[in-house]
Amino acid sequence: MNFKGAHVDGELMRTCLLLAIAVGLVLGAAPRASADSPMVPAPPPAVPQGPPNGMVEQSSTDGGATDYRVYFDSRGRPAREELDYFHHGKMDTFYYFKDGVLDRVEIDSKGSGKIDIWVYLLDGQYVQRYERDTTGSGKPDVVKVFGK
């Protein structure tokens, strides 16, 4: 590939950063939050095995609002994870699993309460398709397909 003269706008770079953080969180590679850092709190180091059809909540601060929640399927594998990236009391990043493997990530990157980024994964780690709503309509108007 030749990237000479390529131009990448700031919005795309911000989206890629959010996506990298989201994927890192799922894989447990993101750094922990600190008082002087706006980083997202890392989920447990490994995707937890939980109570069948159960749910576990976590807060990154003592006595603070829940900013991480995971729901389990009937076999105790993760079915859905939710994260409050902006620490504003609303979950804004959602991870969906099929048979315990990450399948899709949905992100409200603006904190508006509307999903505006959808990332579809293959085998839990390869980005297969990326969709983005840049107009606020709630429907993707930018679609990138990878691996074709």
Domain boundaries, the chain: 10-31+43-145
pLDDT at 17 exceeding the cut of 80? no
Give 53's pLDDT tier (boundaries 50, 70, 90).
very high
**φ, ψ (nearest 5 deg) of residue 141:** -120, -5
Cα 81 from Cα 87, distance rounded (Å)? 16
**Cα Rg of the chain, angstroms:** 16
**What's this model's pTM, rounded to 2 decimal places?**
0.68
Residue 131's DSSP bridge partners are 118, 143
Kindly list the strands in the beta sheet with 68-72, ordered across the sheet, starting from the edge strand earlier in the chain: 55-58, 68-72, 78-83, 93-98, 101-107, 117-122, 126-132, 142-145
Only one residue has tokens 């006595």, namely 63
Only one residue has tokens 């839990």, namely 124
Residue 27, token pair as written in the block: 């894989």
Each residue's pLDDT tens digit, 88-133: 889 999 999 999 999 999 999 998 999 999 999 999 889 999 999 9
